[in-house]
């Protein structure tokens, strides 16, 4: 039997890492399912189609995020935030041909109108369309994050790090070999 020595720490990724991975996978499966469902419901106008394609592709990208050849560095995450926030802000610049807030003459946002001004001059912010637009621009930011992570050079390992990266499964296999008692009769 194996004693809980220094290898026990290798088996446990930690509560924060596990929670973030679980959250990423939940968001990925939700985005993928909603993207597929939206596309199966029918192809509407171009913003509707674009939104659901980005939702589907973003969900699939999040599912495979752990298999990226390199971990994204700070510039990739900054690019993600810039694309998500600037996309939302720039899309809110006035545009009269945007859909969905039909009672308002002046509508703003892409792919859905999130801000509208009626004939009386009062502005209305639609929370659900704003949330959908933020998800859309976060998906676009995710594409930018992966692109920047791919284009930036890999970081050099710290002097204390081993040169060969060992995965979680390889460590468990070694531990299992040490505990092997010769198999079943």
pLDDT digits (tens, 9 = 90+) for 76-132: 899 999 999 998 888 877 654 545 555 544 455 676 776 666 666 667 777 787 888
pLDDT score recorded for residue 98:
46
Of the listed ranges 15-19, 28-32, 154-158, the least confidently predicted one is 154-158
* Choice between 15 and 117, residue whose per-residue pLDDT is larger: 15
3-class state of residue 47 by DSSP: helix
Residue 111 preceded by cis peptide, ω within 30: yes
Check whether 185 has a pLDDT greater than 90.
no
Asked if 133 and 126 touch (Cβ cutoff 8 Å), the reply is no
For 19-70, the pLDDT digits (tens) are 888 998 999 999 999 999 988 887 777 778 888 899 999 999 989 887 777 7
Among the listed ranges 34-38, 106-110, 137-141, 175-179, which one has the minimum average pLDDT value? 175-179
pLDDT at 174 over 60: no
Predicted local distance difference test score (pLDDT) of residue 60: 93
Alpha-carbon distances of 170 from 131, 164, 183, rounded to whole Å = 42, 12, 20
Q: Which pTM value belongs to this model?
A: 0.65
So what's the pLDDT on residue 72?
A: 83
More confident residue, 158 or 57: 57
pLDDT at 68: 77
**How many CA atoms does the CB half-sphere of 155 hold within 13 Å?**
12
Please give the residue that has the higher pLDDT: either 165 or 154.
154
């Amino acid at each position: 039997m194996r004693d809980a020595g220094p290898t026990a720490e290798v088996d446990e990724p930690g509560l924060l890492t596990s929670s973030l991975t679980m959250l990423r996978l939940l968001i990925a499966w939700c985005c993928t399912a909603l993207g597929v469902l939206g596309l199966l419901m029918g192809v509407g106008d171009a913003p509707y189609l674009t939104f659901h394609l980005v939702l589907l592709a973003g969900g699939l990208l999040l599912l495979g995020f752990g298999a990226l050849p390199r971990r994204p560095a700070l510039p990739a995450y900054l690019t993600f935030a810039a694309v998500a926030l600037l996309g939302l802000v720039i899309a809110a610049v006035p545009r009269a041909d945007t859909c969905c807030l039909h009672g308002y003459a002046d509508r703003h946002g892409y792919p859905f109108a999130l801000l509208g001004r009626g004939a009386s001059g009062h502005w209305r912010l639609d929370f659900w369309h704003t949330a959908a637009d933020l998800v859309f621009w976060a998906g676009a930011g995710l594409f930018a994050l992966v692109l920047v992570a791919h284009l930036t050079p890999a970081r050099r390992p710290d002097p204390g790090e081993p040169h060969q990266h060992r995965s979680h499964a390889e460590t468990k296999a070694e531990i299992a070999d040490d505990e092997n008692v010769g198999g079943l009769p």
